[in-house]
């Protein structure tokens, strides 16, 4: 598993200084970043700048509305970035309130279109997908009804949804090109995000499951940071490097 970071973690720094922030991520020891669009520059400009820094793009998040209305733009952006993994960042309640099978029916042909262009389509979960529907988590229905859809499991949100992250990683083996490595406190009404290794998740079990399921990329993500975001990223990188993730 190659280590990356979701740039949402450092979004405020990127807004102020795109290239300086990306250079700082490289200096921390990362070789890949996960993006969500191109930060106000063209995909070609971003690709060249990342190449100059020695960074690759592990995955690119996109909105469901954009994917549904203009999948060709998503394909073109990913191809320009040299990125093989597109990820739906979430779906709105207007969609999933109609049932997760309905969401799957909409996503499946989009997955086929991206697959034909050499790009995998994944879904990034939060916690609401674990609300039961017909006696099982909505996320399970989505993956059962959309066999072309891959998973980007966010391990903290899986745990916050009262499910077992390692179990889900093992269950999705073969459909898990990327995973989000996120930590935080559990048991409260609201999420509390922390650096990887500083929260309540069982990283021995999670990383053992990752070793078995073999996702290509593990992306650090911290939705909010209580210290400088680059310091939070550095702490998470050091923890994961210390656990044997060396790429």
Least Cα distance to 77 among 52, 108, 51, 45 occurs for: 45
List, for residues 23-50, the tens digit of each pLDDT value.
999 999 999 999 999 999 999 999 999 9
Q: Assign 246 a pLDDT band (cuts: 50, 70, 90).
A: confident
Percent of the chain with pLDDT over 90: 99
DSSP 245: -
Q: What domains sit in the chain, N to C, each tagged with a CATH number?
A: 2-242 (3.20.20.150)
Report how far residue 155's alpha carbon sits from residue 169's, in angstroms, rounded to the nearest whole number.
Answer: 9
pLDDT beyond 90 at 247:
no
The pLDDT tens digits of the residues spanning 115-155 come to 999 999 999 999 999 999 999 999 999 999 999 999 999 99
The per-residue DSSP string of 174-206 comes to TS-SEEEE-EEE-SSSS-EEE-TTSSS--HHHH
Residues 206-216: tens digit of each pLDDT: 999 999 999 99
pLDDT digits (tens, 9 = 90+) for 49-79: 999 999 999 999 999 999 999 999 999 999 9
- Alpha carbons 1 and 49: distance in angstroms, whole number: 24
| DSSP one-letter code for 35 | E
């Amino acid at each position: 598993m190659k280590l990356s970071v979701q740039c949402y973690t450092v979004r405020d720094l990127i807004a102020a200084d795109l290239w300086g922030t990306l250079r700082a991520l490289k200096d921390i020891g990362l070789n890949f970043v996960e993006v969500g669009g191109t930060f106000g520059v063209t995909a070609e400009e971003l690709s060249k700048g990342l190449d100059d820094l020695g960074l690759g793009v592990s995955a690119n998040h996109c909105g469901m509305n954009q994917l549904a209305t203009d999948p060709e733009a998503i394909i073109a952006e990913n191809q320009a970035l040299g990125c093989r993994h597109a990820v739906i960042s979430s779906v709105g309640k207007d969609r999933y309130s109609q049932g997760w099978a309905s969401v799957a029916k909409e996503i499946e042909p989009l997955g086929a279109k991206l697959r034909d262009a050499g790009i995998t389509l994944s879904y990034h979960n939060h916690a609401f997908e674990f609300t039961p529907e017909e006696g099982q988590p909505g996320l399970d229905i989505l993956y059962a009804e959309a066999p072309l859809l891959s998973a980007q499991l966010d391990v903290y949100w899986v745990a916050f949804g009262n499910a077992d992250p390692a179990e889900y990683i093992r269950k999705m083996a073969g459909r898990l090109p990327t995973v989000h490595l996120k930590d935080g406190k559990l048991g409260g009404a609201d999420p509390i995000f922390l650096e990887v290794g500083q929260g309540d998740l069982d990283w021995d079990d999670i990383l053992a499951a990752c070793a078995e399921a073999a996702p290509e990329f593990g992306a650090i993500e911290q939705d909010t940071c209580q210290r400088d975001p680059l310091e939070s990223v550095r702490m998470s990188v050091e923890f994961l490097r210390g656990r044997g993730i060396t790429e």
